Amino acid sequence: MNAHVGVFTVLSRQWCHLCHELVEALEPIAQRYGWRIEVVDIEQEPALEARWDELIPVVLVDGVEICHHRLDEESVHAFCGASRRNP
């Protein structure tokens, strides 16, 4: 059994429809692996906005970029599967 509970951090903007769509698409994947989704509005975090501005939405796990602009389901599944093998 995997003791590691992952967290997908989605860098977003409140008004960004692509961000909302990405979170919706990520929800079933998060449920499948028992992970949580944390949405961070980069407009509330100047350092994040400076770094990620044009790339949002961005999916991060432990600070590592998994994908940006659109959800790359294959990369997310691969990352979660590797995480399960290497807790």
Indicate left, alpha or beta for 63 from its phi (over 0: left) and psi (-120 to 50: alpha). left
d(CA 18, CA 22): 6
Say if 45 falls within a structural domain. Answer: yes
Say if 35 falls within a structural domain. Answer: yes
Rounded mean pLDDT, 51-65: 95
pLDDT score of 36: 96
Say if 61 falls within a structural domain. Answer: yes
Count of structural domains, the chain: 1
- pLDDT digit string, tens, across residues 32-51: 999 999 999 999 999 999 99
Say if 1 falls within a structural domain. Answer: no
Give yes or no for residue 4 having a pLDDT over 70: no
Say if 64 falls within a structural domain. Answer: yes
Say if 37 falls within a structural domain. Answer: yes
Give yes or no for residue 86 having a pLDDT over 60: no
Say if 30 falls within a structural domain. Answer: yes
**Residue span of the structural domain in which 38 resides:** 7-85
Q: What is the pTM of this model?
A: 0.88
Work out the angle between the directed axes of helices 17-33 and 73-85 (0-180°, nearest 10).
30
CATH number of the domain encompassing residue 55 = 3.40.30.10
Say if 26 falls within a structural domain. Answer: yes
Residues 42 and 12: beta-carbon distance below 8 Å: yes
- pLDDT digit string, tens, across residues 17-29: 999 999 999 999 9
